[in-house]
């Protein structure tokens, strides 16, 4: 496994960097937050991303995509993470595109994939039901009713859940809480009257929602994959999502670190630049080393996904753990080294700290993935 980008992947990364810097600087994110935008992403920016082909990176060519792989979408999210670019790319271009491309039947692929590629359809993956990530703890019931299912229950902390056109829902069709078996994935129309969305006002100003389902009737034709294989399928989807989120978090860390370095080179105390203080140099060096380690971990996970490695699950958990711990460290240090102004809204570094605290919890915290990595390693 070569932990380097191909020429095409580097070109894609450069394109994403130029786009994020020119069209979506942090000031764009700030304006959406300040204006209380209802979906917290810009439809015009999403349309431009669509023209660049980004929603179709993981979608096969026969449905209009480019099938460029996890590394391709990962480097885009990495650059978007540096400017906190708000968009449905993670929930739709990663989770939705991968789910339907790999586990949908032909009818579902033809119905949804071209719409994702064209930017006409956004998706959200609804898995968790409490404040702690654990798919096997699913209690939401999908009760068989002839050729249909009746779904009741609640999903929490759904990324892009307040605006998605299509909900990919994990529900229990048999078994008990704690069983990874007996779970099934469903494709749910976002306009369903029996579905109530409750938008969440999170610290990082991203689009999240809790979703309640009250006697929602869904056809068996809306089952994604085979019945009662949802536990296995969703872990595959989540691993790709974790890798993509780790890449975005790496971008967050890199941007916060760069802003801190620039501040150390400009701010003076006692008539000298604070960057000349050895204690701060040591702390900056530690951040640099952790970021470089994270780059290797994320790259290994992305390449493993594209190569179909048997070690994908472990590398996914490793990348998510290290990316979370690094972003936690770097965002903390960025605020600390900026001093009092670091916690004010005037400077951007506070945004990265807020994003860190929320992103760490998406699809499993460092603690969750450390335990998962140990279990997968036979401990």
Strand-pairing partners, residue 212, are: 154, 196
Give 68's DSSP letter: -
Largest CA distance in the chain: 79
Q: What's the CATH fold of domain 231-376?
A: Butyryl-CoA Dehydrogenase, subunit A; domain 3 (1.20.140)
Tokens (6 digits) for 157:
């902390």
Name the packing angle between helices 70-82 and 230-266 (round to 10°): 40
d(CA 79, CA 360): 18
- pLDDT at 278 (0 to 100): 95
Low-confidence ranges of the chain (pLDDT < 70): none
What would you report as the CA-atom Rg of the chain, rounded to the nearest whole angstrom? 21
Which residue carries 């949804």 as its tokens? 112
Give 219's DSSP letter: E
- pLDDT at 208 (0 to 100): 97
Which residue carries 């951040």 as its tokens? 287
Domain with CATH 1.10.540.10 in the chain: 7-121
Give 96's DSSP letter: I
pTM for the whole structure: 0.97
Tokens (6 digits) for 113:
């994939």
The superfamily (CATH) of domain 7-121 is: Acyl-CoA dehydrogenase/oxidase, N-terminal domain (1.10.540.10)
pLDDT digits (tens, 9 = 90+) for 51-89: 999 999 999 999 999 999 999 999 999 999 999 999 999
**Rounded to whole angstroms, what are the CA distances from 117 to 101, 310, 366?**
12, 29, 33
Domain with CATH 1.20.140.10 in the chain: 231-376
Chain centroid to Cα 95, Å, comes to 8
- pLDDT at 3 (0 to 100): 84
The superfamily (CATH) of domain 125-227 is: Butyryl-CoA Dehydrogenase, subunit A, domain 2 (2.40.110.10)
- pLDDT at 346 (0 to 100): 86
- pLDDT at 80 (0 to 100): 98
Domain with CATH 2.40.110.10 in the chain: 125-227
- pLDDT at 130 (0 to 100): 92
Angle value at C-alpha 130, between 201 and 236, nearest 5 degrees: 100
Which residue carries 């802003």 as its tokens? 259
Distance between start and end Cα atoms, the chain? 25
d(CA 281, CA 274): 9
CA dihedral 370, 373, 377, 379 (to 10 degrees): 30
- pLDDT at 56 (0 to 100): 98
**Helix (H) / strand (E) containing 343:** none
- pLDDT at 344 (0 to 100): 87
């Amino acid at each position: 496994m070569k932990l380097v980008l191909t020429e095409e992947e580097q070109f894609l990364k450069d394109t994403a960097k130029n786009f994020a810097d020119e069209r979506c600087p942090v000031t764009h994110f700030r304006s959406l937050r300040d204006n209380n935008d209802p979906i917290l992403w810009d439809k015009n920016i999403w349309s431009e991303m669509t023209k660049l082909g980004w929603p179709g990176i993981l979608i096969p060519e026969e449905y209009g995509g480019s099938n460029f792989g996890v590394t391709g979408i990962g480097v885009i999210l990495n650059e978007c993470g540096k400017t906190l670019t708000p968009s449905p790319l993670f929930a739709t271009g990663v989770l939705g595109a991968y789910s339907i491309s790999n586990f949908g039947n032909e009818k579902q692929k033809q119905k949804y994939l071209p719409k994702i590629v064209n930017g006409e359809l956004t998706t959200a993956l609804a898995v968790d039901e409490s404040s702690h990530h654990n798919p096997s703890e699913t209690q939401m019931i999908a009760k068989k009713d002839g050729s249909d299912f009746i779904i009741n229950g609640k999903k929490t902390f759904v990324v892009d859940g307040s605006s998605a056109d299509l909900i990919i829902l994990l529900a229990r069709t048999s078994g008990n809480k704690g069983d990874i078996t007996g779970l099934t994935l469903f494709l749910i129309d976002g306009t369903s009257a029996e579905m109530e969305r409750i938008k969440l006002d999170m610290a990082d100003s991203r689009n999240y929602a809790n979703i309640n389902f009250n006697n929602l009737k869904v056809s068996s034709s809306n089952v994604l994959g085979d019945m009662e294989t949802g536990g296995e399928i969703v872990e595959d989807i989540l691993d790709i999502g974790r890798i993509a989120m780790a890449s975005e978090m790496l971008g967050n860390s890199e941007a916060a670190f760069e802003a801190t370095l620039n501040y150390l080179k400009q701010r003076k105390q006692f008539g000298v630049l604070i960057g000349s203080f050895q204690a701060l140099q040591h702390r900056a060096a530690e951040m640099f080393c952790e970021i470089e380690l994270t780059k290797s971990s994320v790259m290994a996970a992305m390449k493993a996904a594209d190569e179909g490695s048997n070690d994908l699950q472990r590398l996914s958990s490793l990348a998510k753990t290290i990316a979370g711990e690094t972003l936690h460290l770097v965002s903390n240090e960025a605020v600390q080294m900026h001093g009092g102004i670091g916690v004010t809204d005037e400077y951007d570094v506070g945004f990265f700290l807020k994003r860190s605290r929320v992103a760490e919890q998406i699809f499993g915290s460092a603690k969750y993935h450390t335990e998962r990595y140990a279990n997968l390693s036979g401990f």
